[in-house]
Amino acid sequence: MPLLSCKKLSALIHYRIQLGKIRKYFLSTSLCLNDREKGKGKPAGKKYADTINLPQMPYALSVYKPDGRCNERESYIQKIADFDGLYKWQRRNNKAPQFTIHDGPPYANGQPHVGHALNKARSANDFSLTDIQVRKQADKFSRETLATQRDEFKTWGVMADWDNPYITSDRHFVAKELDIFQQLYNKGLIYQDYMPVYWSPSSRTALAEAELEYKTTIRAYQCT
């Protein structure tokens, strides 16, 4: 067996020491099953995250407290900012040329999350609702979620005409869409025609355009 040089041996010892520190930092003693059986550490049945020595944050991870009340600082920001009043003030005092922001409506299927916040930060006020009369409960849930999302967007500082939002399940909105569709059809912008379908002989199924692979090399053959 070849002998290690002093330099390599020192590096190996340093590596083992650092590895031991890493293990000691990330692994809690509550991971030991013997300690759990003896009643030490956290009881069994906890999540794996409870066995990791994670850094403790000095700030709250959520703006809502366990009892459902909003964080005091969050309430203070909403109060002094008065986002609703600021939007109405802009509408009254803005003399510059008007423009329109087309903001893609979110699905009204639950609590808003960070993805909604990102979309609102990049872009008016709208909600995507599907008018399914067959499922009255679904329609009721959607409208309740609409109100929840509206209140949440207000706390984010989204300025919009919240008193007059457009809702895709509204009958007037649906009628207007059908009217515009008819106008586009009359102008020949909407028509029915044939289109190529990409077919895979080996898979015996149609292919999406994203699945196509084109040959980028061209070979020239000499005719004899």
Is 181 domain-assigned?
yes
Q: What local confidence, expressed as pLDDT, does residue 44 receive? A: 53
Name the band, by pLDDT with cuts 50, 70 and 90, for residue 161. Answer: confident
Q: What local confidence, expressed as pLDDT, does residue 180 receive? A: 95
Q: What local confidence, expressed as pLDDT, does residue 86 receive? A: 82
Name the band, by pLDDT with cuts 50, 70 and 90, for residue 63. Answer: low
Is 100 domain-assigned?
yes
- What does pTM read for this prediction? 0.37
Phi–psi pair at 207, nearest 5 degrees: -115, 145
Domain span holding position 16: 6-51
Residues 152 and 46 in one domain: no
Is 173 domain-assigned?
yes
Is 148 domain-assigned?
yes
Tens of pLDDT along 24-38? 544 444 444 444 444
Q: In the predicted model, what is the mean pLDDT of residues 146-167?
A: 86
Residue 185 reports pLDDT greater than 90? yes
Residues 26 and 83 in one domain: no
Q: What local confidence, expressed as pLDDT, does residue 177 receive? A: 92
Is 200 domain-assigned?
no
Beta carbons within 8 Å of 14's beta carbon, 6+ residues apart: none
Is 199 domain-assigned?
no
Q: How far apart are CA 115 and CA 106, in angstroms?
A: 10
Residues 117 and 174 in one domain: yes
Residues 76 and 180 in one domain: yes
Residues 82 and 120 in one domain: yes
Residues 45 and 76 in one domain: no
187-190, long-range: CB within 8 Å, 24+ apart, which pairs?
none
Residues 27 and 112 in one domain: no
Is 197 domain-assigned?
no
Q: What local confidence, expressed as pLDDT, does residue 141 receive? A: 82
Name the band, by pLDDT with cuts 50, 70 and 90, for residue 1. Answer: very low
What total of structural domains would you count in the chain?
2
Residues 34 and 114 in one domain: no
Residues 125 and 31 in one domain: no
Q: What local confidence, expressed as pLDDT, does residue 22 receive? A: 54
Residues 169 and 82 in one domain: yes
Residues 124 and 181 in one domain: yes
Residues 162 and 96 in one domain: yes
Q: In the predicted model, what is the mean pLDDT of residues 3-10?
A: 55
> In Å, what is the CA distance from 95 to each residue of 86, 90, 98, 100, 108?
15, 9, 8, 15, 34
Is 45 domain-assigned?
yes
